[in-house]
Amino acid sequence: MLDKLVAFALSKRLLILILTAILIGTGWMAFQQLPIDAFPDVSSTQVKLIMKAPGMTPEEVEARIVAPIETEMLGIPKQQILRSISKYALADITIDFAEGTDIYWARQQVAERLANVQSSLPIGSSGGLAPITTPLGEMFMFTVEGGGLSLEQRRSLLDWVIRPQLRTLPGVADVNTLGGMVRTFEVVPNNAQLAARGVQLNDLQRALELNNRNDGAGRLRAGEEVLVVRVEGAIKTLDDVRAIVITNRDGVPVRVGDVAEVQVGSLTRYGAVTKDGRGEAVEGLVLGLKGANARQVVAAVQERLIEIDKGLPAGVHTKVFYNRGGLVDRAVGTVAEALAEAIVLVVILLVLFLGNLRAAVLVAVVLPLSALFTFILMRQFDMSANLMSLGGLAIAIGMLVDAAVVVVENIVTHLAHDKTAEKLHLIYRAVGEVITPVASGVLIIIIVFFPLLTLQGLEGKLFIPVALTIVFALAGSLLLSLTLVPVLASWLLKQGAHSDPWLVRKAMAIYEPALVWSLAHARTVVIAAVLGLVATAGVYTLIGKTFMPVMDEGDVILQLEKLPSISLEDSVKLDLRIQQALMRVPEVKGVVARTGSDELGLDPMGLNQTDTFLVLKPRDQWRKPDKPWLIDQLRTVMQDFPGVTISFTQPIEMRVSEMLTGVRGDLAVKIFGTDLAQLNQLAGQVEGVLKAIPGAEDVITVKNDGVQFLQIKVDRLAAGRFGLNTDDIQNDLRAQIEGKQLGVVLEGVRRTPLVLRGGEAVRNSPEQFAAMRITLPDGRSIPLSEIAHLQRVDGPVKVDRENARRYVVVQANVRGRDLVGFVDEAKRAVASKVSLPAAYSIVWGGQFENQQRAAKRLAIVVPIALMMIFLLLYATFNSLRLALLVLTNVPFALIGGVFALWLSGEYMSVPASVGFIALLGIAVLNGVVLVSYFNQLIETGMDISQVVVEGAKRRLRPVLMTAMIAAFGLLPLVFASGPGSEIQKPLAIVVIGGLVTSTLLTLVLLPILYRRFGFAKVAVEA
């Protein structure tokens, strides 16, 4: 069949050129349309529910909101994990679905279940589905600066001018607004005046709710015309609020202005943003839609912000401090640069090995055409051009020319030695000679990458694009090698004498005596190879194991955790002091910190938690261009702030960790149980054990106790005696402290909340709060203490649940050692030192969990791939003996890979595993090329001793070319330094190291083994 393809190509040469031109045009168009991002979308199908319940404590939120919703959600099909966080006034519920579940179907299921349970949720709770974004959706962050505006004015600009315009852009899911003050019409009740006039707080509340609406009364006929009747009753100004009548006392109206102060205020704040140690700021955070093209979204946002800035008040502008586009450009640039350098190295090697510029160009033309072929298929499969998919091309660059190298090298040899035959026939014969080993070899390399297509979870999201691009590119290169290459060879290559180039002559001068000596001392060579394998097994045990090298995103986030009982104001003051200290580090250009919860509730932190985003100078301006060194400098600064727990992370790394485990960190130790106090105690013990293990860094348990609660126990008998019920008392107290939103005031397009809230004096003094007087239905008033007992108690910061079970987390990062070794030691230590009560359990998660899952999956599918390769080899040679002979190359290829990994100090990670898989394919390909030629020589009747010498010498050039081009194609990845280079480096090191031993043993050991084991089978066949 393949013979016919070559014959068709050579007989229809013009058609092949036209099809190539179509390939170039289509491929370029596909490349232009490819979405570009830094990473593949690693998020699972995830639906998030945000529920707000002003004034509720974490345990109340858990019992009254989270538990009913969880009970309703647990039966949804395809659901994998249900996680929830119950915090003060906020519930964050995350539902993970099975891979491949349609996001819109999942959201519909959740929305339907939420509607079912909505009626049983407390009155006053609100919320629903979060925007369709992913944990990697935070693409663009900016602050509103200048103009001397107050926090309230800047927040209003962001809410009502900037945000609506950005939300119209394609690919933008939402714009989160953080910091500043949300303007309100605030009604502050005067408790003394209320008592004096005998007005209850709920009377005031009802009056405000019932006097803020415009309505239509219908149509009124006036002669031949009709008048539309409109009744105006909506509040427009503060004076309108003051004029509302609450009730009549002895014929005298009691107005809102008589019993309350009406003013412009702000909503209760659950978080704040601070900047550069100078004060508070207002931040906008653009969330990208799931599947959106990051580069296009960022470019559109930048362009729109420039337009918006022109219409802002004089001196006011937006200032960007995080732009995903920068990371995208750097990450893609890293791979593109390595790709370009690899192509140059490959072309140089082709010229040196072939000694013929035309032949080198002929092989090199396969590289860009294979890439264009890949882009077409990537577009069809809805893949994006990112660090991993383009990395697949960079990895494959050396393998892409394998087929073309063997084909062109054989054509050149035939044209040099046969000057009389017709040229097209000669080319057809030359290609036909190598068509089987070439096709088998490429097919084998494609098969070895199939195990990557079965990876799950995060590792699958990262490495399936790598495998697919390699498979696409190799398929394209094989097709081109059997069609376009012979066609171009018929025009570019000439018949006639052709001497071997200098490099091949030198290689032959070294190889020939080495081969003769090896064949004469076969026992010594075999023993040395076996000893090498034994040494490799020993060295492998010294190599640490981890999931994935940490990618340097170029940005740093410093996470702070203070005492749980700290107020927002004091938390902000401490943040500003820390920022002033951080700004003294020369490499830090700016600091933007976010404390507490965001506006949408997507990141429900407590008032004691702060994410500090460090804006760094370009790396060439650092005193020492080394990120770990800089982090150590920042740690030194933070030693001046005892009692503040710190950890370091990066924007994407942080969100990916949260997505996978619900927490941040390399390792997450989850302790499941029922009693929060017991869980906190166990977490403290586990934290102490982890801190004592070498390599542990940033070991923290998110503080979950120590919050002070003022518990008010209503005396039902006393309340009933005064004509009060529990609900009325709770309503009054919530209005006094948290405030109650009673409606909105329309000011043009702006919707300003109308809020009833107690004065500063009551909110800032427990004593004044306790002495506050409650107005009775009969007009009298009594102090709160007469109907309730007030008591201070400790309570939780939050309640975490997973699949309806409570848990606490100890999180840790690992530095200076491998993750798996650290976890193994930690497991032993925890098992021996921490005693778990009945019904309590520990689960080890985080990056470690991913590593274990990937290792288990590869342990199953790699042997299956080897079996498939064996079957393909058997089909190629029709010989069990020869198939096994070629497969012996595989373990010997591992020798160099393992030693290279060990000497470089890299760990055995998923990228390194991918390197071994690639190495396996190249090693088998070289074995196929060599053994196929041995068989051809045997068929001519040549003696076996002469066959292994002549065959090995004749195939020295293609074997060396294949190995060296693959190795040099990956060399730029070893020395690359941009974002993402950390992921590609272990892979490149393994392949390059393995190719050294694999090539050496292919050229020396395989002839020995063929002479000893391959001969008997071939002789029988002959």
- DSSP 8-state assignment for residue 542: T
| Helix 423-448 and helix 484-492, axial crossing angle in degrees, nearest 10 | 140
User: Among residues 601, 612, 610, 603, which one has the least CA distance to residue 662?
Assistant: 603
- The residue count of the chain comes to 1022
Angle CA 198–201–206, to nearest 5: 110
CA 627/CA 610 separation, integer angstroms: 21
Residue 664's pLDDT is 57
Computed on alpha carbons and rounded to an integer, the radius of gyration of the chain in Å comes to 36
Q: 72 is written with which tokens?
A: 């309703």
Q: 302 is written with which tokens?
A: 């930048």
Whether 621 shows a pLDDT value over 50: the answer reads yes
HSE of 879, CA atoms in CB hemisphere, 13 A: 23
Beta-carbon contacts of residue 439 (< 8 Å; ≥ 6 apart) = 2, 403, 478, 482
Q: How many CB atoms are closer than 10 A to CB 420?
A: 6
Whether 591 shows a pLDDT value over 90: the answer reads yes
For tokens 């194609």, the residue is 969
Angle CA 538–542–547, to nearest 5: 125
The residues that bridge with 266 in the sheet, in sequence order, are: 183
Residue 767's pLDDT is 83
HSE of 68, CA atoms in CB hemisphere, 13 A: 15
CA 170/CA 289 separation, integer angstroms: 9
CA 532/CA 528 separation, integer angstroms: 6
Residue 782's pLDDT is 86
**Model confidence pLDDT, tens digit, residues 703-728:** 677 778 888 899 989 888 888 888 88
Beta-carbon contacts of residue 393 (< 8 Å; ≥ 6 apart) = 335, 339, 371, 374, 469, 470, 473
**Model confidence pLDDT, tens digit, residues 985-1016:** 898 999 999 988 888 888 998 899 888 887 55
Q: Could you tell me the pTM of the whole model?
A: 0.79
User: Among residues 762, 713, 773, 709, which one has the least CA distance to residue 737?
Assistant: 762
Q: Which of 216-225, 575-584, 662-671, 720-729 has the highest mean pLDDT?
A: 575-584
What's the pLDDT band for 665 if we cut at 50, 70, 90? low
What is the domain class of 502-542+879-1021 according to CATH?
mainly alpha
- DSSP 8-state assignment for residue 36: B
Residue 601's pLDDT is 67
% of the chain beyond a pLDDT of 70? 97
Average pLDDT over residues 594-622: 84
User: Among residues 642, 644, 636, which one has the least CA distance to residue 612?
Assistant: 644
User: Among residues 809, 577, 554, which one has the least CA distance to residue 700?
Assistant: 809
Whether 660 shows a pLDDT value over 70: the answer reads no
Residue 302's pLDDT is 93
**Model confidence pLDDT, tens digit, residues 200-253:** 888 899 999 999 888 888 888 888 899 999 888 889 999 999 999 998 888 889
Beta-carbon contacts of residue 580 (< 8 Å; ≥ 6 apart) = 277
CB 396 within 8 A of CB 344: no
Mean pLDDT of the chain: 86
Alpha-helix runs per DSSP H in 844-955: 847-877, 880-887, 889-904, 910-939, 944-954
What's the pLDDT band for 22 if we cut at 50, 70, 90? very high
CB-based burial of residue 1011 (10 Å sphere; 0-12 exposed, 13-18 middle, 19+ buried)?
middle
Whether 610 shows a pLDDT value over 80: the answer reads yes
Average pLDDT over residues 310-327: 88
CA 515/CA 498 separation, integer angstroms: 25
CA 84/CA 807 separation, integer angstroms: 10
Residue 449's pLDDT is 84
* Same CATH fold assignment for domains 1-33+355-499 and 502-542+879-1021: yes
Average pLDDT over residues 273-286: 93
% of the chain beyond a pLDDT of 90? 31
Average pLDDT over residues 363-384: 90
Q: 439 is written with which tokens?
A: 């096709």
Q: 20 is written with which tokens?
A: 């190539």
CA 399/CA 537 separation, integer angstroms: 28
Beta-carbon contacts of residue 859 (< 8 Å; ≥ 6 apart) = none
CA 666/CA 847 separation, integer angstroms: 5
CA 923/CA 886 separation, integer angstroms: 9
DSSP secondary structure, 519-547, as one string:
HHTHHHHHHHHHHHHHHHHHHHTTS-B-S
Average pLDDT over residues 607-635: 89
Where exactly are the structural domains of the chain? Answer: 1-33+355-499, 502-542+879-1021
What's the pLDDT band for 359 if we cut at 50, 70, 90? confident
Residue 944's pLDDT is 87
Residue 982's pLDDT is 81
Which amino acid is located at 723 in the chain?
G
Whether 16 shows a pLDDT value over 70: the answer reads yes
Residue 1019's pLDDT is 42
Residue 114's pLDDT is 94
CB 560 within 8 A of CB 994: no
Residue 151's pLDDT is 92
What's the pLDDT band for 536 if we cut at 50, 70, 90? very high
Residue 339's pLDDT is 79
**Model confidence pLDDT, tens digit, residues 123-178:** 888 888 988 877 678 889 999 998 889 999 999 999 999 999 999 999 898 898 99
Residue 435's pLDDT is 87
Whether 781 shows a pLDDT value over 90: the answer reads no
CB 281 within 8 A of CB 179: yes
CA dihedral 934, 939, 945, 951 (to 10 degrees): -30
More confident residue, 353 or 571: 571
CA 595/CA 273 separation, integer angstroms: 6
**Model confidence pLDDT, tens digit, residues 834-888:** 989 988 999 888 777 777 788 888 888 888 888 888 888 888 888 888 888 888 8
Residues 847, 853, 856, 860, CA torsion sign:
negative
For tokens 């229809």, the residue is 12
Residue 661's pLDDT is 59
Whether 196 shows a pLDDT value over 80: the answer reads yes
What's the pLDDT band for 184 if we cut at 50, 70, 90? very high
CA 245/CA 255 separation, integer angstroms: 4
CATH no., domain 1-33+355-499? 1.20.1640.10
Residue 276's pLDDT is 92
Residue 662's pLDDT is 57
Average pLDDT over residues 51-76: 90
